[in-house]
Structure 1
Amino acid sequence: MARSSRDYDESDVRIRPNRRGSRPRSKDRPAHLDAVPARVTGVDRGRYTTYVEEGDTRRVVVAMRARELGRKGIVVGDAVHLVGDTTGDDGSLARIVRVTPRETVLRRTADDTDPVERVLVANADQLVVVSSLTNPEPRPRLIDRCLVAAYDAGMEPLLVLTKADLTDPAPFLEQYAPLSVPAIVTSRRDGLITGLDDVRDALSGRVSVLVGHSGVGKSTLVNALVPLALRATGVVNDVTGRGRHTSTSAVALALPDDDGWVIDTPGVRSFGLAHVDLSRIVHHFPDLEPGTAQCPRGCTHDEEECGLDAWVESGSAGPAGPARLDSLRRLLRARTPVTGDSHD
């Protein structure tokens, strides 16, 4: 190809301008001193539903995560700060620029060997384990695992037993008496839930997470506590005895009269505990914990050399010591799944 007779010089070379400017990039980030505090009540595909309280006004604001937060996870219950359009008007979108350090974290893993833990809910102070007494049958191992997760998270546990109109709750309650876990029994009569007032009192002024396997009546309970919740309810399969998943994501709902929060979660069929610190479980047995001083280093508290046996035999743990030790060890063993256990 023939070259042009004109010679090229530097004026013919086009240099792309530096779009980022000549100043070095600063690591400083905006302080966002005017950010508005809020609570995350729902998470859906990168959009966060938040609840903003300013004086006597309350509003729902949809937000997205600001880029400066990086890949930091945000879950239901998180206390956050918003900037941008925080009016809550249709079509508005704010930005979450700050996440307040969490006071409690409820976690689970896929199974007991999975090192990756998933944060379910933040900043709750009470874990409400909902179980039906029949149809579907209660799953003690799953309940035990939920109790372990509550102790590890520093949350207070509460058992709520449903469908007492179909069977006597006494035998089941007897299993958990040594654990000193408070329990509330509910039943359905003439379309009304008896025991609902007791549940409401237990949730008053608290941030409570409701967990349980499908079909136990958890969403029905939430709808009764928060009439405008409109959580979907399902039925139990007569063949498998299992309920249909009706809640697909966690959601935080304000109880009427500004009297606390209830967080409804999807039905669970397993609760991995690979992340659990065993010492936190023992801490919730103050009558037994002093006896661990006689345990060998690295004791799992479920072995022949465990010092707790001698502590209980000496009577130092009180008359309920043997039953309490059995319950503690039952919870510790909950971290180890039993092959073929359909109730796990």
Structure 2
Amino acid sequence: MSGRYDHLDESSVRERPSRRGTRPRTKDRPSHEDAVVGMVTGVDRGRYTVRVEDRTVSAMRAREMGRTRVVVGDRAGMVGDTSGDEGTLARIVRIEERDTVLRRSADDSDTVERIIVANADQLVIVTALADPEPRARMVDRCLVAAYDAGLDPLLVLTKADLADPDLFLRHYRALEVPHVVSRSDGDSGELDPAGVDEVRAHLVGRTSVLVGHSGVGKSTLVNALVPFADRATGAVNAVTGRGRHTSTSAVALELPDGGWVVDTPGVRSFGLGHVDPDTFIEHFEDLLPGTEDCPRGCSHDEPDCGLDAWVASGRAGPAGPERLESLRRLLRSRTGDERS
């Protein structure tokens, strides 16, 4: 059956003009070779504080960054108004390659890592010797995170006026972790200047991250190290024995004599779900040769582990037994074994 349109062919069909431009799409992105690079010192609800030489720039993340997360310590490339004048806003268009990344997970079963800070080179683990009671398990976990991230650990023990530090320190002597003991005035709460100066000597010229439970005196220490830091401090709950969160976000503060300290919110857990326990032995170079006699898949904390014979032979040195026990304690802190 013939129709009314049988006489038409393809050349008779008129195409509706496109409303879109005719310029072809491209996946190329601007190189932003003129981007100004600065250090991210603060993050607050989608706004970033970036230090560029002698000025502070406010910035937002550009759409082209996608889901790339920007954290304190990042070296960020910015375009737009980077003058730092009041009311101006730059755009972060890229993050430079990170030298180090300190991570933690929500718990040991969660392999999703949460970046705490980038480009630091030292992890300062702050713990009180009393009020609240020290938690060696937390310190062990922070040490594992430091070793995994390639950061040098420093142990700062506060409130030494309330308890003897020697009992706690004996767990870490075999690890040769440097430490500073800090005392405070019971009446005023002010820190002993000598202890503050000793901590400061470890921080000069470095980028250091301070972590610890709430109430251990971390913000008090920061206020003593950095004039006008004005970090909020809080007391320990007499019922729970835990401190109240006073720092709500990480912030990088410049030290008067050079270097940076990153104060982080107090934590009550430090998940290590993102850390591979098989890498722990790499941080014990004196024990590493002894693993050659270990059975395949050895966890280094089992009856047939070759490290026992290696240490018993004396080839690991006089500190071998304590070093081996320290290794196994760190392994148990990752696996949740209560023997730790």
Regarding TM over 0.5, the answer is yes
Q: Does 1:161 align with 2:160?
A: no
1: CA distance, partners of 2:292 / 2:274: 24
Alignment of 1:245-324 (within 5 A): 245-257=245-257, 259-324=258-323
Task: Report deviation, 1:337.
Answer: 2.7
* Structure 1 position 338, deviation (Å): 5.6
Superposed CA deviations along residues 171-207 of structure 1, whole A, max 9, x for unmatched, are 1111211111111000113634241111000011111
1:63 aligns with one of 59, 66, 69: 59
Amino acid at match of 2:127: S
Give unpaired runs (5+ residues) of structure 2: 1-13
Q: Distance in 2 between matches of 1:299 and 1:80?
A: 42
* Conservation of the 8 A alpha-carbon contact between 2:36 and 2:79: yes
- What stretches of structure 1 of length at least 5 have no aligned partner? 1-12
Aligned CA distance change for structure 1 residues 204 and 280 (closer, same or farther; 3 Å): farther
- Structure 2 vs 1, CA of residues 143 and 265 (structure 1 numbering), >3 Å: closer, same or farther? same
1:98 aligns with 2:99: no
What is the count of residue pairs matched by the alignment? 323
Partners of 2:322 and 2:86 lie apart in 1 by 57
Q: What do the CA deviations read for 1:305-339 (whole angstroms, capped 9, x no partner)?
A: 21111110111100110111001000010012367
Whether the 8 Å CA contact 2:182–2:191 is kept in 1: the answer is no
SS at match of 1:110: coil
Whether contact under 8 Å (1:254, 1:261) holds in the other structure is yes
Q: Report matched runs for 1:202-217 at 5 Å.
A: 202-217=202-217
* CA offsets 1:67-94 (integer angstroms, 9 cap, x no match): 1111111111111111001011111110
Q: Please, which moves more after superposition, 207-216 or 44-53? A: 44-53
Taking a change above 3 Å as real, the CA distance of residues 240 and 168 of structure 1, as seen in their structure-2 partners, is: same
Q: Which amino acid aligns with 2:97?
A: P
- Contact between 1:63 and 1:94, CA under 8 Å: does it hold in 2? yes
SS in 1 for 2:241: coil
| Matching residue of 1:151 | 147
The 1:166/1:16 distance shift into structure 2, 3 A limit, reads: farther
Opposite residue 301 of structure 2, the aligned amino acid is D
SS for the counterpart of 2:297 is coil
1:79 matches 2:75: yes
SS state of the match for residue 176, structure 1?
A: coil
- Within 2, Cα distance between the matches of 1:281 and 1:338? 16
For 1:150, what is the secondary structure of its paired residue? helix
| C-alpha deviation, 1:128, in angstroms | 0.4
> In the TM superposition, what are the counterparts of 1:8-157 in structure 2 within 5 Å?
18-19=19-20, 21-53=21-53, 58-157=54-153
Offset from partner CA, 1:46-71 (integer Å, 9 cap, x none): 11111111xxxx11111111111111
Moved beyond 6 Å, runs of 4+: 13-16
**Percent of aligned positions that are identical:** 68
Once the two structures are superposed, what CA deviation does each residue of 1:282-301 show, in whole Å capped at 9, x if it has no partner? 12211111111222222111
The amino acid that maps onto 2:157 is L
Letter in 1 for 2:172: Y
CA contact (8 A) 1:133 1:169 kept: yes
- Aligned to 2:171, which of 167, 175, 198? 175
**Which amino acid counterpart does residue 68 of structure 1 have in structure 2?**
E
Q: Structure 2 length normalisation: TM-score?
A: 0.91
Deviations 1:221-267 (A, max 9, x none): 0011011211100001111111000001111111113x101000000
Q: Is the 8 A contact 1:207 1:262 kept in 2?
A: yes
Instruction: State the secondary structure of the residue aligned to 1:323.
Output: helix
C-alpha contact (below 8 Å) 1:151/1:280 kept by paired residues: no
Q: Is the 8 A contact 1:127 1:155 kept in 2?
A: yes
Q: Distance in 1 between matches of 2:328 and 2:316?
A: 15
Q: Distance in 1 between matches of 2:18 and 2:161?
A: 77
The one-letter code of the counterpart of 1:137 is E
TM superposition shift of 1:101: 1.0
Is contact 2:278–2:299 with CA below 8 Å preserved after alignment?
Answer: no
What is the alpha-carbon root mean square deviation over aligned residues?
A: 1.8
Deviation at 1:115, TM superposition (A): 2.0
Mapped to 2, the partners of 1:280 and 1:196 lie a distance apart of 34
Letter of the 2:217 counterpart: G
Deviation at 1:22, TM superposition (A): 0.6
Shift of 1:33: 1.2
Matched-pair contact (CA < 8 Å) for 2:100–2:118: yes
